[in-house]
């Protein structure tokens, strides 16, 4: 079964009246031949914790072809089981809509598949509004909390520098906002942390969010027992960052990074590397523990927040 790490992250907010527990996981990377044990282990953890919400930050599948296989059915079954415990909200990752078109590392084609998303919507609390051809929008609203999912297309992940401007123009045109005012606790769910404030300055929805949950980085491929040693500059760095920087310039790779009034949470992921990889990388996947976050939001008096 392997090791399991469920790390607690504490956040304080005057916007909620009682403690809120959010289970946050990402990057299952289920392949056609993947052993599903790790994913069932995550489900058992959700059943043990009984959170108020579960947020899954994308890359559930390693390859879009998995949708029509036995493991694709198991994925839907697991999401259904999760929804029986708590509202479960899913964002799309690049791999969920990726088709392998060759043997090379970069031989992928990306397209958003509405049919797969519709199946996920049927079994979870994800309800997305369609903007143009991309599904994203408000998904959850009650009298204290609003959750929005963003699914930027892969060309906007700006692993290339020139994609950054396109991304800003794309989202400014979309004019994506939280519907509620500052009295609500705002959660933004997405896959790539590439929208973090040091990387993108002018995205209004980021300023409106209290927490932003993401994945995609696989903790910068750094094992959990090495991360505290690497993190000497408190930037949560890894080997490679969402904007393609390396080592100490590779920020936002894992953990909670607080900036102004927003907490960015970058999930290390259930798998560290795609399951269909071979050799050393596949072995690394077996050795590294299953990781997810249990985010506790505690109510806090306004006055206390101001004096912090
Ligand atoms: Fe990803």
133: pLDDT strictly greater than 70: no
Alpha carbon of 3 to ligand 1 centroid (Å):
23
Alpha carbon of 81 to ligand 1 centroid (Å):
24
pLDDT, position 304: 53
pLDDT, position 167: 74
pLDDT, position 243: 67
pLDDT, position 108: 79
Alpha carbon of 95 to ligand 1 centroid (Å):
6
Alpha carbon of 63 to ligand 1 centroid (Å):
11
Alpha carbon of 59 to ligand 1 centroid (Å):
5
For residue 216, the Cα-to-chain-centroid distance in whole angstroms is: 7
Alpha carbon of 47 to ligand 1 centroid (Å):
26
The pLDDT tens digits of the residues spanning 224-271 come to: 888 888 877 677 888 777 667 778 778 888 899 888 889 999 999 988
Alpha carbon of 271 to ligand 1 centroid (Å):
11
The pLDDT tens digits of the residues spanning 81-106 come to: 999 999 999 998 888 988 888 877 67
pTM greater than 0.75 (yes/no): yes
Helix axes 70-85, 114-123, angle to 10 degrees: 40
Return the domain boundaries, the chain. Answer: 4-307
Alpha carbon of 27 to ligand 1 centroid (Å):
7
171 within 8 A of 203, measured Cβ to Cβ: yes
Alpha carbon of 182 to ligand 1 centroid (Å):
30
Alpha carbon of 290 to ligand 1 centroid (Å):
17
CA distance 239 to 224: 13
More confident residue, 178 or 152: 178
Residue 64 DSSP SS3: helix
Alpha carbon of 50 to ligand 1 centroid (Å):
27
Compute the mean pLDDT over every residue in the chain, rounded to the nearest whole number.
83
More confident residue, 243 or 48: 48
At 135, the pLDDT band (50, 70, 90 cuts) reads low
Alpha carbon of 302 to ligand 1 centroid (Å):
37
At 74, the pLDDT band (50, 70, 90 cuts) reads very high
Alpha carbon of 70 to ligand 1 centroid (Å):
22
From residue 173, alpha-carbon distances to 64, 110, 116, 275 in Å are 29, 22, 26, 37
Alpha carbon of 221 to ligand 1 centroid (Å):
13
303: pLDDT strictly greater than 60: no
CA distance 66 to 78: 15
Rounded average pLDDT over 19-34: 94
Alpha carbon of 191 to ligand 1 centroid (Å):
7
Alpha carbon of 274 to ligand 1 centroid (Å):
10
Among 4-8, 207-211, 238-242, 294-298, the minimum mean pLDDT is found in 238-242
From residue 48, alpha-carbon distances to 38, 45, 61 in Å are 15, 5, 24
pLDDT, position 126: 86
Residue 140 tokens, joined: 């959850």
Alpha carbon of 93 to ligand 1 centroid (Å):
5
Alpha carbon of 304 to ligand 1 centroid (Å):
37
**The domain 4-307: what is its CATH number?**
3.60.21
50: pLDDT strictly greater than 90: yes
CA distance 93 to 86: 22
């Amino acid at each position: 079964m392997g090791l399991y790490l469920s790390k607690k992250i504490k956040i304080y907010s005057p916007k909620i009246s009682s403690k809120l527990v959010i289970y946050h996981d990402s990057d299952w990377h289920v392949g056609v031949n993947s052993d599903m044990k790790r994913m069932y282990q995550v489900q058992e953890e959700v059943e043990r914790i009984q959170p108020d919400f579960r947020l899954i930050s994308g890359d559930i599948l390693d390859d879009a072809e998995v949708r029509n296989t036995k493991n694709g059915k198991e994925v839907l079954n697991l999401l259904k089981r999760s929804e029986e415990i708590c509202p479960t909200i899913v964002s799309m990752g690049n791999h969920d809509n990726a088709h392998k078109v060759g043997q090379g590392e970069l031989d992928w084609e990306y397209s958003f598949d509405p049919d797969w998303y519709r199946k996920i919507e049927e079994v979870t609390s994800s309800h997305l509004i369609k903007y143009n051809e991309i599904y994203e929008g408000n998904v959850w609203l009650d009298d204290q909390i609003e959750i929005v999912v963003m699914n930027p297309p892969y060309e906007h992940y700006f692993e290339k520098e020139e994609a950054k401007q396109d991304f800003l123009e794309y989202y400014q045109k979309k004019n994506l906002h939280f519907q509620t005012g500052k009295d609500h606790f705002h959660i933004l769910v997405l896959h790539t942390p590439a929208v973090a404030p040091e990387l993108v300055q002018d995205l209004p929805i980021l300023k409106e969010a209290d927490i932003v949950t993401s994945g995609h980085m696989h903790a910068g491929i750094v094992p959990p027992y090495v991360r505290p040693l690497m993190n000497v500059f408190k930037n949560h760095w890894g080997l490679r960052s969402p904007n393609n920087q390396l080592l100490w310039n590779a920020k936002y790779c894992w953990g909670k990074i607080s900036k102004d009034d927003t907490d960015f949470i970058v999930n290390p992921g259930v798998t560290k590397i795609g399951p269909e990889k071979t050799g050393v990388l596949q072995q690394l996947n077996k050795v590294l523990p299953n990781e997810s976050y249990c985010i506790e939001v505690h109510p806090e008096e306004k006055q206390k927040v101001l004096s912090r």
